[in-house]
Amino acid sequence: MSPDEFRRHGHAVVDWIADYWSSLDQRAVLPAGPPGAVAARLPPRPPERGEGFDRILADLDSVIAPGLTHWQHPGYFGYFPANTSGPSVLGDLVSAGLGVQGMLWATGPACTEVETVMLDWLAELLDLPARFRSTGSGGGVIQDSASSATLVAVLVALHRTGGGRWREHGVERRHRIYTSTQGHSSIEKAARIAGLGDDAVRAVEVDPDTLAMEPAALRAAIEADRAAGLVPTAVVATIGTTSTTAVDPLPAIGEICREYGVWLHVDAAYAGSAAICPELRYTHAGLEYADSYCFDPHKWLLTGFDCDAFWVADRAELIEALSILPEYLRNAATESGAVIDYRDWQVPLGRRFRSLKLWFVLRWYGAEGLRAHVRAGVALADRFAGWVRADERFEVVAPHPFSLVCFRLRTRAGAGDSRAPSSTDANANGTDADANGTGAELDRANAELLDRVNGTGRVYLTHTRVGGRHTLRLAVGSPYTREEHVAEAWRLITDAATASQVGRS
Amino acid sequence: MSPDEFRRHGHAVVDWIADYWSSLDQRAVLPAGPPGAVAARLPPRPPERGEGFDRILADLDSVIAPGLTHWQHPGYFGYFPANTSGPSVLGDLVSAGLGVQGMLWATGPACTEVETVMLDWLAELLDLPARFRSTGSGGGVIQDSASSATLVAVLVALHRTGGGRWREHGVERRHRIYTSTQGHSSIEKAARIAGLGDDAVRAVEVDPDTLAMEPAALRAAIEADRAAGLVPTAVVATIGTTSTTAVDPLPAIGEICREYGVWLHVDAAYAGSAAICPELRYTHAGLEYADSYCFDPHKWLLTGFDCDAFWVADRAELIEALSILPEYLRNAATESGAVIDYRDWQVPLGRRFRSLKLWFVLRWYGAEGLRAHVRAGVALADRFAGWVRADERFEVVAPHPFSLVCFRLRTRAGAGDSRAPSSTDANANGTDADANGTGAELDRANAELLDRVNGTGRVYLTHTRVGGRHTLRLAVGSPYTREEHVAEAWRLITDAATASQVGRS
């Protein structure tokens, strides 16, 4: 494809995306087809001769778009958001066009240096401790995801705790990793990949109301493991757990980590973006104890996937853990010690110029524009939680400091026979279910409600379990979501609850 | 940024990229600035208020482009190519615009199904064994890089060999991984990450002429380890090593792996693309023995980084090794067993819609267009090798079945006192260096030659060591590279050699 052909087809693709974004509200959030519907529309083998671009573009409408879960849809409330935005897409476009592979400083000085500066900019925006910045002992790097950041943190912790033997001689299976019962599945996956096995992960109990880690339980687990001859190696604390956005108490956890010499990794994948707002930064209190920290601009900061921002307090230790230097990668800049080679900060060797999209986003929106985006999400979630609380058929089942609300039907039969709300609607144990039917029946009612609501095609919510019970999650986050969309979601939810009650009466 | 603003700025970015590509030949391949030059041009903190897009775009010319190593430049001959092309960039653009996160089938059915079909298309193009296809027992997935593919292969091999205990109880350090002395550094990195330690990797001797793994040495290493109570677990054979594109003998290696029950992973990161040409497919003979295989369309198949294509012969084993299913990821499609959730085929959880760029590339160029691209690279490398062979000051030091040529000055003083070429110019030991000066002096002469040639700004070559001696690598691969560019490279090389001789006389 010549540069001029690219110009012509590129304009058409840009227009297609602009039209796609403009039409999102008219689309069903979820695809209709069964498994295999998309594959069935593709030929079984590649074409022998090239095709015209118009045919390719046409298939975006006929094959691709109907087969998508539309993550940018204003009615998308599933999982956590995976935001993108115009400037992010254009930063990625420039990156793709340049086709730079920045494994070493020498293979893309701008790719490396813009990344260093952007991670410092983010550190400034979130007011991260000075030692995380490249101007201090640490520094930041873009990982593909918080999963990979957790893996890297675990590896460096093993290197530190292994007394210099881990790199050459491998891992001892006595190492233990701690996270709360609400910690992300990627922690178990990291332990498995690192050769520790799932059993090496200790699930520490949480406070039943806040679902935040109990420091006393962490201390007890560490003490018990030490007594058994095991090696407490890393704690993964979470700011904004995946299930309910619980915030682990970093100051108390950090003290324990310091006392026992345990690596503290803080996973703020979703909620880290909130720290750009001073009034939400209290959720990051105690971060000065951390050895590493990450959050995902690709979740809530208008930067497209993949862009996890990961910092360490001691970059020398990270590089020592992961560096391998074969002859064909040697170069004068690396040997000088004056540059960063980000390949040593991650699992893969190669890397894209992902900092361009961050640069575009931070400049286009500015700090105040990004704060407005986060605040809008928090305000909408707060509004939604208020509606839930005001309807006695429902309960909010966990604190909602950010833009996720976890809620559920309180009674199977709905409003007609519901009881008064419990004294705390953050009660995660929900043992009152049995008063109105078995927990299993309530679970079914909530699952049916979710299916019914998602079946409208207007919104998409997902679920979790809180206190052992089926719970609905509404996560605000698409840049196109406005109050009318959250209000529509609530209307669909209450309609479904009412219909469900009528159906049974 | 509204859809209409995106349309306007998007057209400008597309035009900028088209202009960039058109201007590549007028740019220096390498950036001029010292470490820190790019960072020094960026403000120390993010802007409080948003900026206009014109300012951002202008900085691409003033800050970014001057700080790049231009991987798509027609004079770029470094490392291996990291190709991209118009349709690839546009496929990535659509992916970024859709903003779909395809961790599960349910979160992006089209993202999942197009990937499955594209990997089957590639398997068809390369004529991979039937069991690698999704219609057989296996299947393919896009990884970010061959490094990650190797890591995943090692993990599944550990799961298989660990007798079901690896997932829960962790790795035993008795496992051993085998690769040739020419194997990629990512194999050592994978062993380190997986908790085996660098010492677990056995570097198997190679044939001194072909630099391909010696099957007898592999067998001896496996026997010795078994006798010592160790567990031979995986062999990583390479088709097209990074240093010289040596091809390990898969039929003999595969027989040994079968005999001892060892996992065979085949790393064809760079050279796999060659298998789309029937006349080059001989390099893949014996692939039917492999348990897993990967190659990088992002190296030589006009598809932008990142796009490593990774296949396993038994997908059930892979999924079993890596799957963890928390409540918040449960969904009806997953439970049905009728869909693929690619999160279980990789290290991270989240994933981009990377198969779109493959789909665009395969359709735009068609199989014949891609074959023409590979053949052009091989022909240019062959032409270059002929020029090297015809100049008695130089020698080609390894076979060059693909588009990389490894060569070096034979004598320090150049043509004037050179000897006749040795009987085989694939002699990798190069012990004749001492006849014309010490090896160290020749190494310096070759390093100086490389610096001088790269210093012209017209071309970029990198180096390796072959037979212990400094060797230059010329890897053809940019889609803009034509014969005139390879001829210019050769002219600059011979000019530098001549100038160097004059300087010393």
pLDDT at site A328: 80
Out of B1, B66, B120, whose CB is closest to A85? B1
Window 422-461 of A, Cβ < 8 Å to B: none
Beta bridge partners of A142: A309
Identify the CATH class of A3-68: mainly alpha
When pLDDT is averaged across residues A29-33 and rounded to a whole number, the result is: 92
Which has the higher per-residue pLDDT, B418 or B310?
Answer: B310
**8 Å CB contact of B324 and A192:** yes
Whole-angstrom distance, CA of residue B153 vs CA of residue B144: 14
Cβ A7–B21 below 8 Å, yes or no? no
What's the pLDDT at B334? Answer: 87
Mean pLDDT confidence for A279-303: 98
pLDDT (0 to 100) of residue A416: 39
The pLDDT score that the predictor gives to residue A32 is: 84
Task: Give phi and psi for A140, each to the nearest 5.
Answer: -115, 160
Q: Is pLDDT of A294 > 60?
A: yes
Cis check: omega of the bond before B306, within 30 degrees of 0: yes
List strand residue ranges (DSSP E) for A322-422, in order.
Answer: 394-396, 404-409
Q: Give the type of residue at A308.
A: D
Q: Give the pLDDT confidence score for residue B243 in this predicted structure.
A: 96
Q: How confident is the model at residue A436 (pLDDT cuts 50, 70, 90)?
A: low
Give tens-digit pLDDT for B126-139. Answer: 999 999 999 999 99
Mean pLDDT of A43-69: 97
Chain A contacts of B78, Cβ < 8 Å?
A: 107
- Amino acid occupying residue A433: A
* Residue B398 phi, psi dihedral angles, 5° rounding: -160, 155
Residue A496 contacts B, CB cutoff 8 Å: no
Question: Is the predicted pLDDT of residue A500 greater than 60, yes or no?
Answer: yes
Give residue B310's identity as a one-letter amino acid code: F
Angstrom distance (rounded) from CA B269 to CA B309 = 9
Closest of A26, A395, A109 to residue B68, by C-alpha:
A109
pLDDT value, residue B436: 52
Question: Which tens digit of pLDDT belongs to each residue from B47-66?
Answer: 999 999 999 999 999 999 99
Class (C level, CATH) for A100-352: alpha beta
Instruction: Give the nearest partner residue to A89 out of B96, B304, B360, using CB atoms.
Output: B96
- CB neighbours of A113 closer than 8 A, spacing ≥ 6? A105, B36, B37, B38, B39, B42, B67
Bond from prior residue into A306 cis (ω within 30 degrees of 0)? yes
- Of B299, B86, B467, B64, nearest in space to A349 by CA: B299
| Predicted confidence (pLDDT) at residue A362 exceeds the cutoff of 70 | yes
pLDDT grade, residue B459 (50/70/90)? Answer: very high
Of B66, B78, B72, nearest in space to B454 by CA = B78
d(CA A106, CA A88): 25
pLDDT tops 50 at residue A424: no
- Angle at CA of residue B465, ends B464 and B468, nearest 5°: 175
* Beta strand pairing call for A263-267 and A292-295: parallel
A480 vs A24: CA distance, rounded Å: 9
| Residue with tokens 């990668």, as numbered in its chain | A329
Q: Does A279 touch chain B (CB under 8 A)?
A: no
Check pLDDT > 50 for residue A489: yes
Taking the Cβ of residue B55 and every Cβ of chain A, the question of whether any pair is shorter than 8 Å is answered with yes
pLDDT at B333: 87
Which class does domain B115-349 fall in? Answer: alpha beta
Mean pLDDT, residues B149-168 taken together = 94
- Between the alpha carbon of residue B480 and those of residues A51, B73, B186, B299, B303, the distances in Å are 21, 7, 29, 14, 14
Indicate the pLDDT class of residue B219, thresholds 50, 70 and 90: very high
Tell me which chain B residue has its CA closest to the CA of residue A127.
B45
User: Are A124 and B338 inside 8 Å of each other by CB?
Assistant: no
| Closest CA of chain A from B416, distance in Å | 30
Quick one: average pLDDT of B463-487? 95
By the 10 Å C-beta count (0-12 exposed, 13-18 middle, 19+ buried), B390 is classed as: exposed
Which helix (DSSP H) or strand (DSSP E) does residue A463 occupy? strand A460-466
Q: List the A404-409 sheet strands across, edge first.
A: A76-77, A460-466, A469-475, A404-409, A394-396
CB-based contact A6 B13, cutoff 8 Å: no
- Sign of the dihedral defined by the CA atoms of residues A28, A88, A265, A207, in that order: negative
- Percentage of chain B beyond pLDDT 90 is 88
pLDDT tens per residue across span B233-262: 999 999 999 999 999 999 999 999 999 999
Residue B163 reports pLDDT greater than 50? yes
Mean pLDDT of chain A: 93
- Concatenate the DSSP letters of all residues of B450-484 into one string: HHHHHHTSS-B-EEEEETTEEEEEEE---TT--HH
Quote the DSSP letter at residue A279: G
Distance from CA of A252 to the nearest CA of B (A): 27
pLDDT at residue B439, rounded to an integer = 87
Q: What is the pLDDT of residue B413?
A: 53
Q: Which of B183, B214, B188 is nearest to B199 (CA)?
A: B188
Least confident range of A64-78, A490-504, B102-116, B245-259: A490-504
Reference A206, options A449, A399, A40, A9; nearest CA is: A399
Residue B44 to residues A141, A310, B34, B56, B172, Cα–Cα distance (Å): 17, 19, 19, 16, 47
Query: Do the beta carbons of residue A502 and residue A428 sit within 8 Å?
Result: no
Overall average pLDDT of the B447-451 stretch: 96
Any CB–CB contact under 8 A between A372 and chain B?
Answer: no
Note whether A162 and A173 are within 8 A (CB): no
Distance separating alpha carbons of residues B339 and B319, to the nearest angstrom:
12
pLDDT at A341: 95
Q: Which of B101, B346, B354 has the alpha carbon at shortest distance from A462?
A: B101
Q: Report d(CA A321, CA B16) in Å as an integer.
A: 40
Among A169-183, A197-211, B422-436, where is mean pLDDT lowest?
Answer: B422-436
Q: Which among A2, A4, A7 is the top mutation candidate for probing chain B, defined by the most B β-carbons within 10 Å of its own β-carbon? A: A7
Mean pLDDT of A297-324: 96
Closest by CA position to B39, among listed A341, A334, A111: A111
Is the confidence at residue A419, as pLDDT, over 60?
Answer: no
Q: Does B468 contact chain A (CB < 8 Å)?
A: no
pLDDT: is A334 or A109 the higher one? A109
Contact B462/A328, CB-based, under 8 Å?
A: yes
Strands A469-475 and A139-143: unpaired
Q: Give yes or no for residue A502 having a pLDDT over 60.
A: no
Residue B26 has pLDDT above 50, yes or no: yes
Q: Tokens 């390498």 belong to which residue?
A: B30
pLDDT value of position A438: 77
Contacts of A10 (CB under 8 A, 6+ apart): B11, B14, B17, B18, B86, B89, B90, B93
Q: Ramachandran region of residue A69, left (φ > 0), alpha (ψ -120 to 50) or beta?
A: beta
Q: Report the share of chain A in percent with pLDDT over 90.
A: 88
Q: Do residues B148 and A70 touch, judged by C-beta distance below 8 A? A: no
Average pLDDT along chain B: 93
Domain layout of chain A by residue ranges? 3-68, 100-352, 363-504
**Please, are residues A331 and A112 in contact by the beta-carbon 8 Å criterion?**
no
- Percentage of the residues of chain A whose pLDDT score is greater than 70: 94
- A479 in contact with B, Cβ within 8 Å: no
The ipTM of this complex is 0.94
Q: Tens of pLDDT along B263-290? A: 999 999 999 999 999 999 999 999 999 9
Q: How many CB pairs under 8 A join A and B?
A: 498
What pLDDT score was predicted for residue B412?
59
Which of A14, A196, A333 is closest, CB to CB, to B11?
A14
Between the CA of residue A95 and those of A92, B90, B99, B225, what are the distances in Å? Answer: 5, 12, 16, 46
pLDDT in tens, A442-470: 999 999 999 999 999 999 999 999 999 99
Rounded Cα distance between B455 and B460, Å, is 9
pLDDT of residue A327: 83
Q: What are the start-end ranges of the E strands in A325-424? A: 394-396, 404-409
- pLDDT top residue among A28 and A32: A28
Residue A431 predicted with pLDDT over 70: no
Question: What is the structure's pLDDT at B505?
Answer: 40
Chain B, 77 to 116: residues with Cβ < 8 Å from chain A are: 78-79, 82-90, 92-94, 96-101, 105-111, 113-114, 116
Fill in the amino acid letter for B388.
V
Average pLDDT over residues B153-178: 95
- Nearest Cα neighbor of B278 from B370, B383, B380 is B370
Band (A415; pLDDT cuts 50, 70, 90):
very low
pLDDT higher than 60, residue A433: no
B404-409: strand order across its sheet = B394-396, B404-409, B469-475, B462-466
Q: Which of A463, A461, A449, A464 is nearest to A485 (CA)?
A: A461
Q: How far apart are CA B372 and CA B378, in angstroms?
A: 10
Estimate the crossing angle of helix B185-193 against helix B146-161, to 10 degrees: 50
Homologous superfamily of the B363-504 domain (CATH): Aspartate Aminotransferase, domain 1 (3.90.1150.10)
Question: Tens digits of per-residue pLDDT, A148-177?
Answer: 999 999 999 999 998 779 999 999 999 999
